[in-house]
Structure 1
């Protein structure tokens, strides 16, 4: 049996990548005999770069998928692509030197689709190189009509349920992207600003946003503030703009902040929106969709927000209204994509209703791994005050299937059987109730989370001829999208089916650079998975992902961990090569373990091996991949290579046929078991191992089973004793300058030890086992003075006494 001397991953990995029949990973929709295990895989955004964070997360998913298949589950590990969104639009504009408004709508969309398709191919290649056991027969691409028809149908269904509606309402707005964004897409950053103190008619106020004076609709005071409560119910004039607004009382006003008097503008922040609704105040729109001032801003019309702020501040100073300024640290909401400060504008948009109790109750039905991650969803849900704004003012996204009657203005929502469609290209198939056949299309599109929030439904067979297999068994994802993907998926699954989307959710951390910071281009600490594969191997990368940290924790990428992983593969190859060199004449299952009458050290290894299988199975069931793989490495390197193999070499090379067969049986069993345990983690290496000892692919074999009859703690203690005795003899030889194979006259062992064959073989010396206790002659070999006693007693003579003693 020829086994190459060196393990060369750059030859082995491409070989198996080409040889594997990927259909062995396909989910069988017709199979109801095996338990299902459906994974709601995250659909990455097709940037063309399957980055290290993606790669780490997919390693985790692949560990689970491969393990569950070996345990007999009917596994679906699909691959999706979350295509729509602003980044692609921006990239297309940059690539072609255009803006989206300079070309026809459908031509621009086609450019986006072509770029996305190219990027998907690049990312697929990286995924294949990393050895993922993806079920490509269940691939989905959200920009394809076959997928977004479900997004559109879900919109129509939720509209019919009164869970989706259209209304004019304050929304978070990005002036740069010129689109509404959801609260989950708002990031916060601390910035230093100025708190401006103004004479506001007979009152004094403090504000960080003087540019919103034209949008002021009221001034608010806490009724318990005795300084100002007499002003409640009166009117005051707005500085520079000279129109009157009411002074109202509200307990939400913080009397200790600024002057204790605040202006209510439409809109400076969420608190303004609350007051606007509660007190039924008028609406004044001072900022438009592009972030410029409107006509109500008077002479400031057309200025950007920043320009207006500067100009108004100067005018307030010159007119004597501004009497003080103080620096202030403030959390500013920003667009998660472009980092522009968001505004709150009142716009007509589409919304999905949020049922907080339904989401929280469903979250309690789901197993969170780790459990402490659930609080992120709970806290986010409890803070939600507005419904989810699901419409966006972009082009490359799922069209909203809606038209507006030109005559009566009625909203016409498409019927499900008309879908998929783009209302800008296709009209409704029936007239309006008023009889008109003239319509204006809805040009807004759906939030990309409307696509990805139905992935659990899609992979479970929703709206297909297949039986709905909801809930899926696992949702693996990062902790950074709990408030988006997790939140929206639960909302949509419950609204559309009344069922939870998954049984369990596995939360992964982020990848940090060796400097401890999150990987980013600006910090120059980005490592690509392709670089790791080229320099070492895919299996080495996968090992790094496995042992890098526990579930939910951030993981630091360190090259030394990859080097260690690569060394283990080469060590394991040496073990494998040595073992197979002694198994050429071995036929598996020639004789049973009982028939072979295994020596203690063989039974010791098999006890340790089966204990290992039991431990790793428990770790895999708990998604503790780091514990599982560290156990494999420790067993292979220390127990098997450093101890067992050294102890049995004399039997493998000797003339005792029964002893040799026992060692062969144990070695073959161990190598076969290790190949199964390694298969989820290092699929290329495990396949290469198994190809010489088994039939078919290791990835179609069953998981290693625990043979409880082998687990024996007494045998393990006896085996440890043999190992320790052998180590002590070797240490003695080394300390005395002897070769490790040099014979000794005799080794005497006092105690109960029936089998000394392997000790004799490993030490090349006869062993005599003697009952009873040894008669030692105690000879002092050194004196160590106790200064704590000598010093205080003899003081000045202490040095001389110590010299005599030593």
Structure 2
């Protein structure tokens, strides 16, 4: 006997282990089945699998489970992008050290230990949410096996002149002491002071405005707009920098904004991207005043060693004392910050490794990918069009994939690792080759690769690259990811795929939005509005959380978490459980494999509706429309199956044990379970186990196109509407649904209803039921007269009491006589007869064959129903 209620905790603890023990999600590269490969995001192992992660993985799992049920051999791998800077920062915090306090190998070991611990925590949450990951395809980017692929991609691109090394300005985080990519720079609005300073001239001075007086020692020029009449006379002359006394040229450039500050600005190496452009354009001297540690250098004289904020404060004070500070005003400024620690970045010139960025190549490749939703492509396009520098891929860190090169101490040439020797760590191993000058002295590269160099080959890795057979699975079918990393993970993956394979990395890219709390703000610890997935699982269940994710919004859009939505999802599951339980109690399960020889109209209707739903469901799922898919199934289960079909066939199930009713009911609920299985896997598996062996997730979605099509739907809906209308009538009249009606007549009825009299009568509990194709021929009798109080308004305010008294005195027979003779002009409206002049409502009742009846009309149809209650 099927349990009365779905026990979610029991099902969740049971089925995830069962699925893994039976390897039902393992991908078989050698099989002849259609392949569907997913380039799953490898998250940073923070230990916290938050709601945003969960939304993304829900989308992935919906697709993976659906595709398996359509006959595909699906690869749903899971990777871990371990070389994130946050891991180093967390280790430093936990151990109370910096990365420079211990041996490199020891620090790497600390990072590995923390990473494995965090991976374990995240895998537990993923299991609790029922994600059908193929753990045999798990990869960890800190493992040497994965290193070898990242390093191989470096070697190949280096040989193709797509990777190079040079001294160049880079974005630099003083807190993390490493270069960061342009894509890793966030921008925050912060309050600051705009300082107006006097720069000395041979005769007089020129006033400039700057927010960064600590960069005065780095100043290499003063720039003005060529059409600014205030400064034309100074162009080509020299100005002396206050406090530091270096003389700099006054140059003109159209990029100067005459409206900002005084219209004259200092050009430093480097304050921002504009400075870098002018430095290149005018071949200005490199004056690096800020060190990699965020302190002022020897150029700053007495300010050497001060941190930038300390130096700014001291320099402003000295400028004021020496009368160089003319004025100050508070402004709001967009400040570039490190996306990992929010420290304001600096731009410094360092010898770094770069990947050449070909914007046209990236956009042409991206256009061949199917973007869901389509407009997300524009985010990538806008980002690419903003790119001004090549991708800096070297990082001054320890926990990362080593750059596989050494340098000759004698001549400085690069010695590249051989492909067959990968993976390799230059700080622990020597190269097989020597430099061309044959000097025995070599220096290992201590920098590591940007973590995006690891994750940007994830699609290649899951396809099987660099083995030749990878081409059988490449491009992979799907990349699911958040819109916040389009400019990083999507951008870098497209770039690398184009350079390494001349192909797009995936057919489709499915974008999910961010998760917002019930307060309408993006979930964050600082706002205290985070709802962890574990809390939802404990309060309701995993499947309700997953259904919230499906129903919350469309791909690409942000989604708000609401407890009421989770509870509504759970209510839907309970309803589905109850329908299945009712079905199993009223069928002969062992016979359900044999199709009936004949069907009643109600059976044809429900199966035709099911066929329609299945067709739309598959189309929606193929287009990643999860919300529409679930709503479709939910509507069918609740309205068509539970509220209507079940009620129409109860009499056949209870009394006649009708097989066509049993079969149609079973086919319908079985199909519902299979359609919701991708969204509610624990529930679907537990429900399925009550009537079938094996796993629901190994079964295929049914095809029902053998059934009865549009005519069955149209006719069945007429049948349904008649039953619904009479049941609603009973409810409104307070008549129990199982109480017998004496007589029901249908008028203006289509002839096919004559073949379904028994079905209708037994469903609505009618002792007698007739079907008439003609309109009704009814008598009408006046049964009541009452005041129409709606007419007693301002016009009748003074007379209202008198009118009511007069109406009460009127005899019913007198009114009837006046109505029949036409002496009183009445306005007739359906069964209500209104006498506006005397504010009277006269109510009539229809009679048929001497019996008083109620007339029911079906909305949108011409059929009229008359009902005699007793």
Normalising by structure 1, what TM-score? 0.96
Give the corresponding residue for 1:599.
600
Identify unmatched segments of 5+ residues in structure 1.
none
Distance 1:598 1:802 in 2: 60
Distance 2:290 2:507 in 1: 46
- Where do residues 30-69 of structure 1 align in structure 2 (5 Å cutoff)? 30-31=30-31, 33-69=32-68
From 449, 453, 463, the equivalent of 1:460 is 463
Give the corresponding residue for 2:712.
715
Distance 1:381 1:479 in 2: 15
- Where do residues 3-402 of structure 1 align in structure 2 (5 Å cutoff)? 3-20=2-19, 21-31=21-31, 33-201=32-200, 202-402=205-405
Distance 2:804 2:172 in 1: 83
**434-443 or 273-282: bigger deviation:** 434-443
User: C-alpha displacement at 1:359, in angstroms?
Assistant: 0.6
Q: Which structure would you say has the larger RCO, counting Cα contacts within 8 Å and 6 or more residues apart?
A: 1
Give the corresponding residue for 1:661.
659
User: Do the aligned partners of 2:224 and 2:231 also contact (CA within 8 Å) in 1?
Assistant: yes
Distance 1:464 1:695 in 2: 39
Give the corresponding residue for 1:589.
593
SS in 2 for 1:756: helix
Distance 2:787 2:398 in 1: 84
Whether 1:618 and 2:603 are equivalent positions in the alignment is no
Give the corresponding residue for 1:729.
726
User: C-alpha displacement at 1:24, in angstroms?
Assistant: 2.3
Give the corresponding residue for 2:673.
675
From 699, 702, 705, the equivalent of 2:703 is 705
User: Do the aligned partners of 2:482 and 2:514 also contact (CA within 8 Å) in 1?
Assistant: yes
- Where do residues 457-496 of structure 1 align in structure 2 (5 Å cutoff)? 457-464=460-467, 466-468=469-471, 469-496=473-500
Residues 207, 688 of structure 1: alpha-carbon distance in 2 compared, 3 angstrom cutoff: same
User: Do the aligned partners of 2:415 and 2:434 also contact (CA within 8 Å) in 1?
Assistant: no
Distance 1:337 1:800 in 2: 83
Whether 1:574 and 2:578 are equivalent positions in the alignment is yes
User: C-alpha displacement at 1:529, in angstroms?
Assistant: 1.2
Residues 784, 573 of structure 1: alpha-carbon distance in 2 compared, 3 angstrom cutoff: farther
User: C-alpha displacement at 1:272, in angstroms?
Assistant: 0.5
Aligned length: 796
**123-132 or 104-113: bigger deviation:** 123-132
Q: Which has the larger radius of gyration?
A: 2
Identify unmatched segments of 5+ residues in structure 2.
808-838, 841-870
User: C-alpha displacement at 1:38, in angstroms?
Assistant: 1.1
Residues 800, 54 of structure 1: alpha-carbon distance in 2 compared, 3 angstrom cutoff: farther
Give the corresponding residue for 1:769.
771
Distance 1:272 1:249 in 2: 13
1:594-638 C-alpha deviation (Å, 9 max, x unpaired):
x1x211111111111111101111110110000100111111112
Distance 1:323 1:224 in 2: 25
User: Do the aligned partners of 2:415 and 2:433 also contact (CA within 8 Å) in 1?
Assistant: no
Give the corresponding residue for 2:428.
425
Give the corresponding residue for 1:741.
738
User: Do the aligned partners of 1:220 and 1:247 also contact (CA within 8 Å) in 2?
Assistant: yes
User: Do the aligned partners of 2:33 and 2:71 also contact (CA within 8 Å) in 1?
Assistant: yes
Give the corresponding residue for 1:539.
543
Residues 369, 765 of structure 1: alpha-carbon distance in 2 compared, 3 angstrom cutoff: same
User: C-alpha displacement at 1:418, in angstroms?
Assistant: 1.6
User: C-alpha displacement at 1:465, in angstroms?
Assistant: 5.6
Give the corresponding residue for 2:569.
565
Structure 1 residue runs of 4+, over 4 Å off?
Answer: 778-787, 789-804
**533-542 or 207-216: bigger deviation:** 533-542
Q: Alpha carbon RMSD of aligned pairs, Å?
A: 1.9
User: C-alpha displacement at 1:697, in angstroms?
Assistant: 1.5
Normalising by structure 2, what TM-score? 0.89
User: C-alpha displacement at 1:249, in angstroms?
Assistant: 1.4
Distance 1:563 1:109 in 2: 45
Residues 668, 247 of structure 1: alpha-carbon distance in 2 compared, 3 angstrom cutoff: same
Q: Which structure has the highest strand share of the two?
A: 2
User: C-alpha displacement at 1:479, in angstroms?
Assistant: 0.2
User: C-alpha displacement at 1:183, in angstroms?
Assistant: 1.0
- Where do residues 505-516 of structure 1 align in structure 2 (5 Å cutoff)? 505-516=509-520
1:482-527 C-alpha deviation (Å, 9 max, x unpaired):
0000000011011111111111110000111111111111111111
1:13-57 C-alpha deviation (Å, 9 max, x unpaired):
2222222245222222123x4332111100011111211111111
User: Do the aligned partners of 2:478 and 2:510 also contact (CA within 8 Å) in 1?
Assistant: yes
SS in 2 for 1:264: strand
SS in 2 for 1:74: strand
Distance 1:784 1:169 in 2: 93
